[in-house]
């Protein structure tokens, strides 16, 4: 692996076409704060501008993924007094959450992911989780409520009955249950989570057209909010037609027929069809 840039709270590497972001505060179980958030989103933004990066893996150092927000004294943890402005000012450039990237993101949840930790993992497109990892939306047990869009998005992702059980009770559950209810894609032994996520990243990097991946992840997320099925179908048809008229479509077919790895030539940074779907909105 190749180190990329030095940060205070995260480690950023690249394994060929796969960017790897590791939350690196193992002494406090990688607890979330604005500096970590700013650094992570800055690293994401830098990877997203790099056409050589075809997938990103997010994981945690040590035995946790992220054990939630770092609890502050005098009730300041949730009172809004700790802003992100100073943290973001340290790193000029784009700061983008995983759900807003054109690059697919795989969360390798190697251990506990609670509160802000599980919220962070859900911003990824794919989640692999350790079977015995402790997970929980514990907000109600801390005197606040679920945030970061959870009350709207989680029922749509896994169904109301399952979502309200997890959100309302704030109970701790294991990685196996996360996979069973559809919150995670796969539950694996802890030692296999990161290698599996990196392998999936390499599979995407080799076999998936980068512009096709960008359209698929961003439009699918946007369609979670779309109530007009006819409008969604019409946009999907336009995007399918657009993709079929560009270079990666014949290359994908030819590579399959010739039993070889595809040579994608289209750029996620230059060729994304913003005229049909503006991903900056």
Q: How confident is the model at residue 87 (pLDDT cuts 50, 70, 90)?
A: confident
Do 213 and 186 belong to one domain? Answer: no
Can you give the pLDDT at residue 73? Answer: 40
Do 198 and 68 belong to one domain? Answer: yes
Contacts of 71 (CB under 8 A, 6+ apart): 31, 77
Q: How confident is the model at residue 281 (pLDDT cuts 50, 70, 90)?
A: low
Judged against a pLDDT cut of 60, whether residue 176 lies above it is answered with yes
Q: pLDDT for 219-253, tens place per residue?
A: 999 999 899 999 999 999 999 999 999 999 999 99
Q: How confident is the model at residue 62 (pLDDT cuts 50, 70, 90)?
A: very high
Q: pLDDT for 115-139, tens place per residue?
A: 999 999 999 999 999 999 999 999 9
Can you give the pLDDT at residue 241? Answer: 98
Can you give the pLDDT at residue 250? Answer: 98
Do 14 and 89 belong to one domain? Answer: yes
Do 154 and 276 belong to one domain? Answer: no
Domains: count for the chain: 2
Judged against a pLDDT cut of 50, whether residue 264 lies above it is answered with yes
Do 140 and 235 belong to one domain? Answer: no
Q: Which of 205, 236, 252 is the last residue of a domain?
A: 205
Can you give the pLDDT at residue 88? Answer: 76
In the chain, the percentage of residues whose pLDDT exceeds 70 is 93
Judged against a pLDDT cut of 80, whether residue 171 lies above it is answered with yes
CATH of the domain at 276: 1.10.12
For residues 168 and 157, give the distance between their C-alpha atoms in angstroms, rounded to a whole number.
Answer: 16
Can you give the pLDDT at residue 64? Answer: 97
Do 110 and 129 belong to one domain? Answer: yes
220 exposed, middle or buried (CB, 10 Å; 0-12, 13-18, 19+)? exposed
CATH of the domain at 155: 3.90.226.10
Q: pLDDT for 136-169, tens place per residue?
A: 999 999 999 998 899 999 999 999 999 999 999 9
Domain that holds residue 128: 2-205
Do 62 and 144 belong to one domain? Answer: yes
Token readout for 29 is 């179980």
Listing DSSP states for 208-255 in one string gives S-HHHHHHHHHHHHHHTS---HHHHHHHHHHHHHHHHTSTHHHHHHHH
For residues 113 and 244, give the distance between their C-alpha atoms in angstroms, rounded to a whole number.
Answer: 40
Mean pLDDT on 51-57: 98
Do 131 and 188 belong to one domain? Answer: yes
- What is the number of other CB atoms lying within 10 angstroms of the CB of residue 94? 14
Per-residue CA distances from 36 to 30, 41, 68, 92, 215 (Å):
9, 9, 12, 15, 28
Phi/psi class of residue 174: alpha, beta or left (left: φ > 0; alpha: ψ in -120 to 50)?
Answer: beta
Q: Which of 150, 182, 205 is the last residue of a domain?
A: 205
Count of H-run helices and E-run strands, the chain: 10, 11
Can you give the pLDDT at residue 210? Answer: 98
Q: Which of 205, 226, 247 is the last residue of a domain?
A: 205
Do 197 and 232 belong to one domain? Answer: no
Can you give the pLDDT at residue 90? Answer: 80
> Mean pLDDT across the chain, nearest whole number?
93
Strands (E), the chain: 2-6, 10-15, 18-23, 55-60, 64-66, 105-109, 112-114, 126-130, 134-136, 173-174, 186-188
Can you give the pLDDT at residue 72? Answer: 47
Do 134 and 189 belong to one domain? Answer: yes
Do 182 and 214 belong to one domain? Answer: no
pTM for this structure?
Answer: 0.92
Do 118 and 70 belong to one domain? Answer: yes
């Amino acid at each position: 692996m190749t180190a990329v840039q030095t940060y205070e709270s995260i480690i950023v590497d690249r394994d060929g076409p796969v960017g790897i972001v590791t939350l690196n505060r193992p002494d406090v179980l990688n607890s979330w704060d604005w500096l970590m958030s700013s650094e992570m989103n800055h690293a994401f933004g830098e990877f997203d501008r790099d056409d050589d990066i075809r997938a990103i893996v997010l994981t945690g150092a040590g035995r946790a993924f992220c054990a939630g927000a770092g609890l502050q004294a005098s009730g300041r943890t949730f009172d809004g007094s700790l802003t992100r402005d100073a943290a973001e000012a340290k790193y000029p450039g784009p700061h983008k959450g995983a759900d807003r990237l054109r690059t697919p993101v795989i969360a390798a949840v190697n251990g506990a992911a609670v509160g802000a930790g599980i919220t962070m993992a859900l911003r990824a497109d794919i989640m692999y989780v350790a079977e015995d990892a402790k997970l929980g939306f514990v907000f109600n047990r801390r005197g606040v409520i679920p945030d970061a869009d959870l009350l709207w998005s989680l029922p749509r992702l896994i169904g109301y009955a399952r979502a309200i059980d997890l959100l309302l009770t704030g109970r701790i559950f294991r990685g196996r249950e996360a996979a069973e209810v559809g919150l995670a894609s796969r539950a694996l032994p802890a030692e296999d989570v990161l290698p599996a996520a990196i392998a999936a990243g390499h599979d995407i990097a080799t076999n998936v057209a980068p512009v096709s991946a960008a359209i698929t992840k961003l439009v699918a997320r946007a369609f979670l909010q779309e109530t007009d099925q006819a409008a969604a179908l019409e946009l999907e048809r336009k995007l399918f037609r657009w993709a079929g008229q560009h270079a990666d479509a014949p290359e994908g077919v030819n590579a399959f027929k010739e039993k070889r790895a595809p040579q994608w030539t289209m750029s996620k940074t230059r060729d994304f069809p913003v005229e049909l779907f503006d991903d900056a909105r």
